[in-house]
Protein backbone atom coordinates (compact mmCIF):
# COMPACT_ATOMS: atom_id res chain seq x y z
CA UNK A 1 0.00 0.00 0.00
CA UNK A 2 1.38 3.40 -0.95
CA UNK A 3 0.46 6.59 0.85
CA UNK A 4 0.36 9.52 -1.55
CA UNK A 5 0.27 12.27 1.04
CA UNK A 6 2.83 15.04 0.80
CA UNK A 7 3.32 17.40 3.71
CA UNK A 8 4.22 21.08 3.83
CA UNK A 9 5.42 22.04 7.28
CA UNK A 10 6.76 24.95 9.27
CA UNK A 11 9.34 24.53 12.02
CA UNK A 12 10.23 27.19 14.58
CA UNK A 13 13.09 27.60 17.01
CA UNK A 14 10.65 28.94 19.63
CA UNK A 15 7.48 31.03 19.78
CA UNK A 16 8.00 33.85 17.27
CA UNK A 17 11.50 32.48 16.64
CA UNK A 18 13.35 31.51 13.49
CA UNK A 19 11.09 29.79 10.92
CA UNK A 20 11.77 27.08 8.36
CA UNK A 21 9.40 25.86 5.61
CA UNK A 22 9.78 22.39 4.10
CA UNK A 23 8.00 19.66 2.14
CA UNK A 24 8.20 15.88 2.56
CA UNK A 25 6.40 12.64 1.83
CA UNK A 26 6.98 11.37 5.40
CA UNK A 27 6.33 13.98 8.04
CA UNK A 28 7.23 11.77 11.00
CA UNK A 29 10.57 10.73 9.48
CA UNK A 30 11.52 14.22 8.35
CA UNK A 31 10.72 15.92 11.66
CA UNK A 32 12.57 13.17 13.52
CA UNK A 33 15.61 13.93 11.30
CA UNK A 34 15.39 17.64 12.12
CA UNK A 35 15.01 16.93 15.85
CA UNK A 36 17.94 14.52 15.95
CA UNK A 37 20.07 17.06 14.03
CA UNK A 38 20.64 14.51 11.22
CA UNK A 39 19.64 17.08 8.62
CA UNK A 40 22.64 19.36 8.07
CA UNK A 41 22.13 23.00 7.24
CA UNK A 42 19.79 25.73 8.36
CA UNK A 43 17.64 23.85 10.89
CA UNK A 44 20.65 22.29 12.59
CA UNK A 45 22.61 25.55 12.68
CA UNK A 46 19.74 27.58 14.13
CA UNK A 47 18.12 24.84 16.32
CA UNK A 48 14.84 24.99 14.42
CA UNK A 49 12.99 21.80 15.34
CA UNK A 50 9.56 22.67 16.77
CA UNK A 51 6.76 21.58 14.40
CA UNK A 52 4.24 24.43 14.54
CA UNK A 53 2.25 23.91 11.31
CA UNK A 54 1.64 21.19 8.74
CA UNK A 55 -0.79 20.58 5.89
CA UNK A 56 -1.25 17.45 3.76
CA UNK A 57 -1.69 17.30 -0.01
CA UNK A 58 -2.66 14.40 -2.27
CA UNK A 59 -0.55 15.68 -5.15
CA UNK A 60 3.19 16.35 -4.94
CA UNK A 61 2.97 19.27 -7.38
CA UNK A 62 0.35 20.98 -5.17
CA UNK A 63 2.52 20.47 -2.09
CA UNK A 64 5.62 21.89 -3.78
CA UNK A 65 3.60 24.83 -5.12
CA UNK A 66 2.28 25.64 -1.63
CA UNK A 67 5.76 25.27 -0.12
CA UNK A 68 7.19 27.72 -2.67
CA UNK A 69 4.34 30.15 -1.95
CA UNK A 70 4.98 29.95 1.81
CA UNK A 71 8.68 30.58 1.32
CA UNK A 72 7.83 33.83 -0.49
CA UNK A 73 5.33 34.95 2.17
CA UNK A 74 6.22 37.77 4.50
CA UNK A 75 7.12 36.67 8.02
CA UNK A 76 3.99 38.22 9.56
CA UNK A 77 1.79 36.24 7.14
CA UNK A 78 3.48 33.00 8.21
CA UNK A 79 3.02 33.91 11.86
CA UNK A 80 -0.67 34.62 11.26
CA UNK A 81 -1.06 31.23 9.53
CA UNK A 82 0.62 29.44 12.44
CA UNK A 83 -1.38 31.29 15.08
CA UNK A 84 -4.69 30.64 13.29
CA UNK A 85 -4.20 26.88 13.67
CA UNK A 86 -1.76 26.72 16.59
CA UNK A 87 -2.19 29.88 18.72
CA UNK A 88 0.12 28.70 21.52
CA UNK A 89 2.89 27.54 19.16
CA UNK A 90 2.68 24.05 20.65
CA UNK A 91 5.13 21.48 19.31
CA UNK A 92 2.72 19.46 17.16
CA UNK A 93 5.28 16.69 16.77
CA UNK A 94 4.67 15.58 20.36
CA UNK A 95 0.92 15.20 19.77
CA UNK A 96 1.50 13.64 16.36
CA UNK A 97 3.76 10.95 17.82
CA UNK A 98 0.98 9.92 20.23
CA UNK A 99 -1.18 8.96 17.21
CA UNK A 100 -0.85 6.05 14.76
CA UNK A 101 1.71 6.69 11.98
CA UNK A 102 0.65 9.03 9.18
CA UNK A 103 2.75 7.03 6.75
CA UNK A 104 2.22 3.25 6.39
CA UNK A 105 5.92 2.66 5.67
CA UNK A 106 6.67 3.55 9.28
CA UNK A 107 4.16 0.99 10.57
CA UNK A 108 5.53 -1.65 8.18
CA UNK A 109 9.07 -0.93 9.41
CA UNK A 110 7.97 -1.55 12.98
CA UNK A 111 8.37 2.05 14.12
CA UNK A 112 6.59 2.38 17.43
CA UNK A 113 5.97 5.29 19.67
The conformational region for residue 24 under phi > 0 = left, psi -120 to 50 = alpha, else beta, is beta
- Could you tell me the CATH number of the domain that includes residue 101? 3.40.1440.10
pLDDT in tens, the chain (113 residues): 456 899 999 999 999 999 999 999 999 999 999 999 877 899 999 999 999 999 999 999 999 999 999 999 999 999 999 999 999 999 999 888 877 665 555 555 554 44
β-strand partners of 24? 7
β-strand partners of 6? 57
Total number of domains in the chain: 1
Q: Please check whether residue 113 lies inside any domain of the structure.
A: no
Q: Please check whether residue 1 lies inside any domain of the structure.
A: no
The domain of 68 spans: 6-108
Q: Please check whether residue 98 lies inside any domain of the structure.
A: yes
Q: Please check whether residue 21 lies inside any domain of the structure.
A: yes
β-strand partners of 20? 11
pTM equals: 0.84
Amino acid sequence: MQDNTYWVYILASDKLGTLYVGVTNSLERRIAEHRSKEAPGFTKTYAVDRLVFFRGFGDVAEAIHFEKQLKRWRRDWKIRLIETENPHWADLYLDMMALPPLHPDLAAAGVTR
